[in-house]
Amino acid sequence: KEEFIDEVIDGLLPPPQYFPLNVKMNKEGYEDVKKVLERGTRALSPAAFEAAANETGAIVLDVRHQDDFAKGHVPRSIFIGLNGSFAPWVGALIADVEQPILLVAPIGMEKEAVTRLSRVGFDGTLGYLDGGFDAWKNASMEYDTVSQVNADGLKKAIETEKPPVFDVRKESEFLSEHIIDAVNTPLDYINDHLAKFPDNKLFYLHCAGGYRSMIASSILKSRGIHNFIDVKGGFAAIKEAGVPVTEFVCPTSL
């Protein structure tokens, strides 16, 4: 039995922070999903949405596509798009299942977002922005953007300026292959790496395809760090553009 257990858990990573809280919910019970959906799918005007965020301490969670988030978003909101590994990243980065949440979602996708949050124990959605981000913008509310560049733009910057480049992929991905002189700050532990990012100097941020780097971008902005540029297309586009990278090492050998 002991040998079997050792074999099964060999190399197993620590569970996400929200797992123990889910176990607690399974033992003690949880709110009826109908009530969760009824509360979470309340439409809030831009003014009511802003008031709710200020009064409840809720996280504003933007679940649109990363390109839409880059073009404009509610200041200090966190991006985790429905089009990617939504639930695992919510669990890893928000962690507290009791955290109140306010949603910015694509029109018609609000119920799906609340449902997918509830499936991993996040039942604290208080409502969503009625009319989506366009309603926020049309109401002349303050909004923020994420500066982006394509891989060719990064290549030119590296050739002329040699700016700091931060790679938010997992350590195993980074060790397998990465931009020469890049620094690895895995998204899972991004808050532990905040001190590594330059205070004033411009730096670049990328992941494998663009989804995770936009999550990281939103977290940095929520922490008051704005002096960076996100690389569209991530490492796949970077390699294709001919940016110098380290020699490939098969991940299974690491």
Region of 128 on the Ramachandran plot (φ > 0 left; ψ -120 to 50 alpha; else beta): beta
pLDDT at position 11 is: 72
**pLDDT tens digits for range 158-208:** 999 999 999 999 999 999 999 999 999 999 999 999 999 999 899 999 999
Q: What residue numbers bound the domain in which 27 lies?
A: 16-138
Decide if 182 is inside a domain: yes
Decide if 239 is inside a domain: yes
| Other CB atoms within 10 A of residue 242 CB | 10
Number of domains in the chain: 2
| pLDDT class of 20 with cuts at 50, 70, 90 | low
**pLDDT tens digits for range 87-110:** 989 999 998 889 999 999 999 999
Euclidean distance between CA atoms 212 and 207, whole angstroms: 6
Decide if 164 is inside a domain: yes
**pLDDT tens digits for range 33-65:** 789 999 999 999 999 999 999 999 999 999 999
The first and second tokens of residue 15, run together, are 């569970």
pLDDT at position 8 is: 86
166 shares a domain with 245: yes
Q: What is the DSSP string of 209-223?
A: SSHHHHHHHHHHHHT
User: Percent of the chain, pLDDT > 90?
Assistant: 81
